[in-house]
Structure 1
Amino acid sequence: MAIDLSKVAYRLTLVPPDGRQITVDHLILSASLETLPQELAARLNVQLKNVKLKDGWIHQHVYLAKRLILQATDGSGWKEVFRGAVYRWKTNASDHTIEITAYDPLFPLQQSKEHWYFGSGETGASSIKKIAEKAGVPVGRIDGPTVKLAKKPYSNGSLGDIIADRLEESEKKGAGRFLVRSTQGSLEVVKEGSNETIYVLDDHFVEDSADEHSIENLVTRVKIYGNEGNEGRALLKAVKDGNTKFGIIQEVLYSDSYESVSEAQKAADEMLKEKGKPKIERSLNGPDIPWIRRGDKVEVKTGTIGGRYIVEGISRDISSLRMSLNLRGD
């Protein structure tokens, strides 16, 4: 799909407690919008000129826990791309500026801790909906995952980590990869790569890209030892091999650290799954397309990167209208 990059623009609006909407994009000195791979919530950082209006200085209209809205356009109308609350603000007297940090409504889930117990047959979708509703987060579109999971307790974990675990368990059972994100103030769960519009990012668009492949931290064999044995020697209980075409790079686990040898073997399998293949990191920089979101599929044709990829993270420089994408193979 084509987009006129020359018409891309952003509009920032403060929403104080009285419900008014104060447009402040003309006061922006710098602004960035980030959705990082390991974080549940999107973050907006803004530096504004702290000027005096008819009814007070700009900082007097910025309230902790109150809303601000970021909209974007490509010439075809304004659309909301971020809705969040102010979590930090700071004025600087020397240059008459104010710095604001805002997060979308998923931030409380990212920060809060709770005990949870899910019974047998609960799905990832129902689990996440329950967590959100109990935390007071509005729930929107939930596409899945709908595979039934085993019973599982969670002790004093962050709600974000619990959600991530429910999605990971669902993926292991064949449900595919889903992600949680916020849209117009509501939590939604969507399948990765389910976006209808797939942008093609080629050499005419991409300003710079990086394609890094590494086996520096590779593990291809895991040995499981018990502590008992003759003359204090550890007894070998099991050996798990992964892909050894890059050589034998070995890690050791001890069965006494687990409930059984079987549990230790499962841990070895997880280690080989995580560390048993080359680590690939791909990224690119180019003009901002406001409509690309984390979890979207894009087609890339630049440098040594070619194919369809999932966007794992996005950093946007609102001031310069540039974006950086972290990619994962589809």
Structure 2
Amino acid sequence: MSYKVILQDKYDLSPLVESISLRDSLEQVAYQGTVNLVVTPDLPPLSPGMAIRISGIPYGMKDYVPLLHPAVVWEVETANNGVKKMTLTLYDRTVYLDKSEEEYLFPAKQTATQRFKRYAADWNIKIAHLPDTEKQLGRSVYRTQSIYASMFADLRETAKAGGKLYHPRMLPAGLELYELGTNREVYVLETLTDTTQRRTLEGAATKVKVLATSASESGKEVPSKVMAIEEKDVAKYGQLQAIIQDDEAKSPAAARELARSKLRGVQETITVNAPDINTIRAGDAVQLGTMKLLVISVSRELGNPGSMTLELGTYDDVKRRFYLE
């Protein structure tokens, strides 16, 4: 197996490894790993909280690079059915942003970049790369919720304001705010074992109405003010109406743009199984035939060659599904 599992920067567990699987998804912040080991007398003591890393040789290369690093042992499970075995659940260190809660009150006109610097400083996380997300955000009051929930709220607001799509990643050098689809090498998926295509009207919206938050007048409830109404493909798919209550759309033009961004017809996802390309991450762009698609999730079994399952979607579908809901 051309992979290494190193514990605490000094114990090489690779000879004891039976299997390694990794999972990365836009629906979660932390890259997750599962390592199955055979327990031998020379296995060092293992406990949650220990530092660990997984390295491998990328497709078409000769040298090892970190795949899951820096990571932490999150769970240790031991079983004995005649042969003692151990299963380790690992996460990269963004897991602390997902599992920790805090309250934040941010003033208006900050960018997501500025807020990410605050999150990283508060949780003692090194920064590798934080691009300027540019879009100024409104005042935000984040009551008790996970740090990642606050981070993702900032990223969604950035996208709703017409900004780019970003996803946090942990690199050996620290936290990166990764712009989706900007990977330098876009792999062409050619050798596929199977492909599944799913198309659905679930979640579709052919008519979108943007409302200002309703208010009462003289103690009486009054209808919400309609800021904008946009329609598309009603005749084709039927009237499926979504309502957005959003005071951030200060002008009719902004409300119309927001409404248009929420119009969505058939949602399509493609799932492929293929030999593993171990450096593909969630949010990366890949080429499938004539289509350039984004990786929504990747689950992989490491090995030679190993295998991976990719869930893929178009940029617009990913934007609507994860950033505009």
Residue 104 of structure 1 contacts residue 185 of structure 1 at CA under 8 Å; is this kept in 2? no
Aligned to 2:50: 66
CA distance in 2, matches of 1:188, 1:236: 40
Q: Deviations over 1:83-108 (max 9, x none)?
A: 21011101112230011101101001
Out of 184, 187, 195, the position equivalent to 2:183 is: 195
Amino acid at match of 1:155: R
What is the 5 A alignment of 1:78-97? Answer: 78-83=64-69, 84-94=71-81, 95-97=83-85
Aligned to 1:322: 307
Q: Which runs of 5+ in 2 are unaligned?
A: 217-221, 316-325
Which structure: larger Rg?
A: 1
Residue 40 of structure 1 contacts residue 110 of structure 1 at CA under 8 Å; is this kept in 2? yes
CA distance in 2, matches of 1:216, 1:201: 28
What SS does structure 1 have at the residue aligned with 2:169? strand
CA distance in 1, matches of 2:235, 2:139: 38
Structure 1 position 72, deviation (Å): 0.8
What SS does structure 2 have at the residue aligned with 1:129? helix
Structure 1 position 124, deviation (Å): 0.8
Out of 292, 297, 309, the position equivalent to 2:293 is: 309
Aligned to 2:161: 173
Report whether the alignment pairs 1:218 with 2:216.
no
What SS does structure 2 have at the residue aligned with 1:166? helix
Structure 1 position 319, deviation (Å): 4.3
Structure 1 position 251, deviation (Å): 4.8
What is the 5 A alignment of 1:1-330? Answer: 9-15=2-8, 21-53=10-42, 58=43, 60-74=44-58, 75-83=61-69, 84-94=71-81, 95-184=83-172, 186-202=174-190, 205-221=191-207, 240-243=229-232, 244-251=234-241, 273-274=261-262, 276-301=264-289, 306-319=290-303, 321-330=306-315
Residue 222 of structure 1 contacts residue 268 of structure 1 at CA under 8 Å; is this kept in 2? no
Structure 1 position 274, deviation (Å): 4.8
Amino acid at match of 1:153: V
Structure 1 position 137, deviation (Å): 1.8
Residue 24 of structure 2 contacts residue 297 of structure 2 at CA under 8 Å; is this kept in 1? yes
Q: Deviations over 1:162-202 (max 9, x none)?
A: 11111111122232111110111611112112221111112
Aligned length: 299
CA distance in 2, matches of 1:210, 1:99: 31
Aligned to 1:4: none
> Residues 254, 241 of structure 1: CA spacing in aligned structure 2 closer, same or farther, 3 A cutoff?
closer
Q: Deviations over 1:256-300 (max 9, x none)?
A: xx99xx9xxx99997885573212111211111112222222111
> Residues 277, 252 of structure 1: CA spacing in aligned structure 2 closer, same or farther, 3 A cutoff?
closer
Structure 1 position 138, deviation (Å): 1.9
Normalised by the length of structure 2, the TM-score is 0.80
Amino acid at match of 1:112: S
Task: State the identity %.
Answer: 20
> Residues 201, 121 of structure 1: CA spacing in aligned structure 2 closer, same or farther, 3 A cutoff?
same
Normalised by the length of structure 1, the TM-score is 0.79
Q: Deviations over 1:194-239 (max 9, x none)?
A: 221111112xx12211221111443334678x9x9xxxxx979759
> Residues 241, 31 of structure 1: CA spacing in aligned structure 2 closer, same or farther, 3 A cutoff?
same
CA distance in 2, matches of 1:212, 1:27: 40
